Structure 1
Amino acid sequence: MIPLLFSCEHATCAVPEAWRDLFRGHEETVESPEGWEPGALNLAQGFAIKLRIPLAHGDVTRLLIDLDAAGEERWSRFSATLTDAQRTKLIERHETKHHDVLCARATELLRHVPAVVHLMVHTTPDDSGAVVLETSSPDTPAARWADTWAHLLRQNPEPLRVETRTATLPAPTASLRLFFGPAAYSALALRVSQSFFLEGRPWRWEKLKKHLADTLAATAKELTVSQESPSSPQY
């Protein structure tokens, strides 16, 4: 079994009917990269299909509630005006629901594998043409996945800017790590420049998506086999 958990928090710029007045006159902002991450859901769905792993994703614009944040940082300049009751309703309907899905899937995976790696798929509003893999520490299973995946991504005749780095990951990953423990849960954030999706540069989007999915599958095959080997360290 592949020990991966997939999520895409900023998948859409959708605004439920009940909240449309909040953004009236600001529709272009909602549809811009400020309201979602263009290409992220398309990429995450490609991974889910390739590896046959369920995908958990956000279902509203992050300008309504940001599933990658906690506390006051959840709220944008638009949703900051909501009442406590309205905020509680949004948290229950979107954030808690998303968190519960991730917890349930991680729990199921941990019945079969010693550790789960949570892959969060993002695109970034820049034209750097970079593919970035972020983990919270170099001493986690997620970091091992990032290093192996980055190595495979670089094995291509056409240059691709691939970076691995340690960073502070989104707040919700901290609660999952606390719930399952750092030995059983670690997170990996993939951040892909939106220039691939919006402008087809420096690579065409479909070409990049295929390369990312193929190399992720190869990473899963390599690390899953080594994890199952009696001589390999267990996490």
Structure 2
Amino acid sequence: MTAFLISCDHATCAVPEAYREIFRGSEDIVTSTEGWEPGSLNLAQGFSMRFRTPLLHGDVTRLLIDFGKDGDERWSRFSLKLPETTRAKLVDRHERPYRTQMKDRIAEDLRRHESLVHVMIHTDPATDGLVMLETPPGAVLAEKFAAAWRTRLAAKDLDVRHVRDVVPGALGASLAAVYPAEQYAQIRLSVAQTFFLEGRPWRWETLKKLLLDSLEAVGKEATVA
């Protein structure tokens, strides 16, 4: 049986009170697509509800700390103003619990199930009406799921692409390196923000339902097989 894990790194543009001073005068940047990925949390919540699995998501703006990156790349031009000790606290309070929960969930799901599909959800401000499914190098199971998912989506005339052998970000790469590719299927789902912000070329709810229905159908096929 296949389990599903849903995660969303850039779910919010929230800034805890203790860090608001470094963004004073730049609040519009924080709430822009530079600070978060509009629609990503809404979509991730839909997947979580459909597959009856807890959702793991970032709880602060990526301009404070980017959960998908490592080292100095985690810090924006704003958070670099913070003392190193303060940034270390951000890691301890926000990044480390997020990553620990994710690893614990993966380990537990793989213990209880034959395989796990991890959908990492993003929305993209740079594309228009496009849905992307990206899989890491050597990701045997992920490629199989993504290919079947793409086939179902394309059959509905959605502009969808499956790109193989994409080197993931730091978080994705660290997970892909630990868990066996024949059991752990990591798929990065990236949806154009035009769907969520402008309702084009499809209404958001219509797109969301198709994404959920099609992945559920793929999961059922895999279970039967």
Q: Normalising by structure 2, what TM-score? A: 0.95
CA distance in 1, matches of 2:138, 2:162: 10
Q: Which ranges of 4 or more aligned residues in structure 1 deviate by more than 6 Å?
A: none
User: What does 1:147-158 correspond to in 2, within 5 Å?
Assistant: 147-156=147-156
State the one-letter code of the partner of 2:28.
E
CA distance in 1, matches of 2:114, 2:132: 26
CA contact (8 A) 1:38 1:123 kept: yes
Asked if 1:48 corresponds to 2:67, the answer is: no
CA distance in 1, matches of 2:104, 2:139: 25
- Is there any run of 5+ residues in structure 2 with no aligned partner, and where? none
State the one-letter code of the partner of 1:113.
H
Residue 160 of structure 1 and its aligned partner are, at CA, apart by 1.3
Aligned to 1:13: 13
CA distance in 2, matches of 1:210, 1:33: 24
Aligned to 2:162: 164
Compared CA separation, residues 146 and 215, structure 1 to 2 (3 A):
same
CA distance in 2, matches of 1:178, 1:76: 26
CA contact (8 A) 2:139 2:182 kept: no
CA contact (8 A) 1:10 1:40 kept: yes
Q: Normalising by structure 1, what TM-score? A: 0.91
- SS of corresponding position for 1:146: helix
User: What does 1:57-136 correspond to in 2, within 5 Å?
Assistant: 57-136=57-136
Residue 115 of structure 1 and its aligned partner are, at CA, apart by 3.1
Map Cα deviations across residues 51-72 of structure 1 (whole Å, 9 max, x no partner).
1111100000000000111111
Aligned to 1:218: 217
Residue 50 of structure 1 and its aligned partner are, at CA, apart by 1.0
CA distance in 2, matches of 1:5, 1:40: 15
State the one-letter code of the partner of 1:140.
V
Residue 80 of structure 1 and its aligned partner are, at CA, apart by 1.4
- SS of corresponding position for 2:63: coil
CA distance in 1, matches of 2:192, 2:16: 28
CA distance in 2, matches of 1:187, 1:175: 11
CA contact (8 A) 1:137 1:143 kept: no
Identity percentage over the alignment? 50
Residue 121 of structure 1 and its aligned partner are, at CA, apart by 0.3
- SS of corresponding position for 2:44: helix
Aligned to 1:232: none
Aligned to 1:32: 32
Aligned to 1:175: 174
CA distance in 2, matches of 1:141, 1:181: 9
CA distance in 1, matches of 2:6, 2:193: 19
Residue 127 of structure 1 and its aligned partner are, at CA, apart by 4.4
Residue 23 of structure 1 and its aligned partner are, at CA, apart by 0.5
Aligned to 1:229: none
CA distance in 2, matches of 1:125, 1:40: 11
Alignment size in residue pairs = 224
- SS of corresponding position for 1:198: helix
Asked if 1:187 corresponds to 2:202, the answer is: no
CA distance in 2, matches of 1:183, 1:78: 40
- SS of corresponding position for 2:191: strand
Aligned to 2:208: 209
RMSD: 1.4
CA contact (8 A) 1:176 1:185 kept: no
CA distance in 2, matches of 1:164, 1:127: 15
CA contact (8 A) 1:35 1:61 kept: yes
Compared CA separation, residues 139 and 103, structure 1 to 2 (3 A):
closer
- SS of corresponding position for 1:189: strand
